[in-house]
Amino acid sequence: MTAKTDVPTYDQPPGNEGHVIIAGFGRFGQIVGRVLSAQKISFTALDISADQVDFVKRYGAKIYYGDASRLDLLRAAKAEEARAFVLAIDDVEASLATAEMVRKNFPRLEIYARARNRQHAYRLMDLGIIIIWRETFASSLELTRDLLVGLGDDRDKADSIVSRFMEHDRMRLFEHYTHHTDDEKMQDLAKESAKELEEMFARDAEEADLIDDPAPDRRAAE
Amino acid sequence: MTAKTDVPTYDQPPGNEGHVIIAGFGRFGQIVGRVLSAQKISFTALDISADQVDFVKRYGAKIYYGDASRLDLLRAAKAEEARAFVLAIDDVEASLATAEMVRKNFPRLEIYARARNRQHAYRLMDLGIIIIWRETFASSLELTRDLLVGLGDDRDKADSIVSRFMEHDRMRLFEHYTHHTDDEKMQDLAKESAKELEEMFARDAEEADLIDDPAPDRRAAE
């Protein structure tokens, strides 16, 4: 799901003056901030650790230290005037607590979320968030693209394989979510996600005759 | 740097019969495995944790449990016949130990590496590895692309901004590495990486007049 069909709307759009909030200014949030900075789009970073990246203030950015799920911090960061909220916190529970607080208090603010894995993505979807990128997903596909070329595919073919995989897998994330909320709904998260990984392989293969005797395991699926 | 100009060569290419080794079968390695599986390219997974993903055997894959830096495990996985080695281990030290063992014992085997961050990437480069994807880098750019569209850019413009950023940042990784080995060479890794993040912002901005009074901080740059 991309922002293409989900452009946020505002009652009082702050126009070019509006800022983007980036919650979590580690490896993921920094990249977002660098692109925004280069594009002269102002942003406000929120991070749990102090004394880290104060220098960003010299690039027109603001930074606040503390728990991004705190309403007073979100208000200090002027969340009510923000154009978008980038949820780039690595810790799953901290990410969800922040998402919940933003959804509740700033319901019109569009959230662009980083997720650790599929299970984290489902919990973000529970909060109505739909623009979600699993944090290692795109890099693993970039590496796979290079690998396919190294193994002899031409680049167009590798591009096509990887693009189709990305698109299908992201669609499936939404399909599975729907299915997921229908029945046991994460009673047993670990078992569920392992079963899901297995199902991913099955659907990737699209060859029923390769499959026999499925057995559950305990790994979380990406 | 992509595989485009670095297609691996083999003395005795095992052709389509050859397998790919995936060391580390977590979130990153699973995606690589799923694409290979769907493409009917056989792979052998190595993972430190047992009892996890045995089901992949039903998809023509092999799996060995244990420390991928162990020579006996690499030999059991038939590393000498492999077409490529995907280093998808999340732990930095375990990744480097494995990379070192593979480079030493199977010097012709091309390594496609996942890196935690820039510092990890530099240490992989020290071992002669050049195909490296920082694990959260591409997803943070995908999210940024969606964000730019949400903020009003058309998709072509957002694509162009993100593609240029990706290309430039990856080039800089190599530039910095060269510079990096010249002088103090990671005497103070944390300080170095924080300084580098600051430099990234400075170069992104490309506007010297925005910058004043740089001060070091301690965050590792993505």
Per residue of chain B (222 residues), what is the pLDDT tens digit?
A: 344 444 444 444 434 568 999 999 999 999 999 999 999 999 999 999 876 677 788 777 999 999 999 999 999 999 999 999 999 999 999 999 999 999 999 999 999 999 999 999 999 999 999 999 999 999 999 999 999 999 999 999 999 999 999 999 999 898 888 776 655 455 545 556 667 777 777 777 653 333 333 333 445 667
Q: Which residue has the higher pLDDT, A218 or B128?
A: B128
DSSP 8-state assignment for residue B17: G
d(CA B7, CA A166): 24
In this predicted structure, what is the pLDDT of residue A200?
Answer: 78
Residue A188 Ramachandran class (φ > 0 left, ψ -120 to 50 alpha, else beta): beta
Q: Please give the residue of chain A at the shortest CA–CA distance from B161.
A: A35
A17 falls in which pLDDT band (50, 70, 90)?
A: low
CA-based Rg of chain B, rounded to a whole angstrom? 19
Cβ of residue B6 closer than 8 Å to a chain A Cβ: yes
Pairing of strands A84-87, A111-115: parallel
Cβ pair B121, B134 in contact under 8 A: yes
Amino acid identity for residue A214 in this structure: P
What would the mean pLDDT of A48-69 be, rounded to a whole number?
83
A143, B133: Cβ pair inside 8 Å?
A: yes
- Out of A62-66, A201-205, B100-104, give the one with best mean pLDDT: B100-104
Q: Looking at the predicted structure, is the pLDDT value of residue A146 above 90?
A: yes
Count CB neighbours of B141 within 10 A. Answer: 23
Q: What is the mean pLDDT of residues A124-141?
A: 97
Residues 160 to 219 of A: which have CB under 8 A from any B CB? 161-162, 165, 194, 197-198, 200-201, 204-206, 210-215, 217-219
* For residues A21-45, average pLDDT: 94
Count of Cβ atoms closer than 10 Å to residue A210 Cβ: 13
Alpha-carbon distance of A98 to A2, in angstroms, equals 21
Q: Choosing among B109, B110, B139, which should be mutated to test the A contact, i.e. which has the most A CBs within 10 A?
A: B139
Question: Contact A147/B20 with Cβ under 8 angstroms?
Answer: yes
Strands B111-115 and A111-115: unpaired
Please tell me the predicted confidence (pLDDT) of residue B181.
63
Nearest CA-CA distance, residue A53 and chain B, Å: 6
Which pLDDT score is estimated for B5? 43
ipTM: 0.83
Domains and CATH numbers, chain B: 3-135 (3.40.50.720), 139-210 (no CATH)
Q: How many CB atoms lie within 10 A of CB B187?
A: 8
pLDDT at A210: 37
A132, β-bridge pairs:
A113
Asked if the Cβ–Cβ distance from B222 to A28 is below 8 Å, we say: yes
Tokens of B150: 């949400």
Average pLDDT score over chain A: 83
Residues 56-95 of A with CB under 8 A from B: 56, 58-60, 83-84, 86, 88
**pLDDT digits 0-9 by tens, A152-193:** 999 999 999 999 999 999 998 988 887 766 554 555 455 566
Judged against a pLDDT cut of 80, whether residue A96 lies above it is answered with: yes
Q: Is the per-residue pLDDT at A201 higher than 70?
A: yes
Beta carbons of B149 and A2 less than 8 Å apart: yes
Q: Identify the pLDDT of residue B217.
A: 41
* Chain B residues closer than 8 Å to A221 by CB: 30
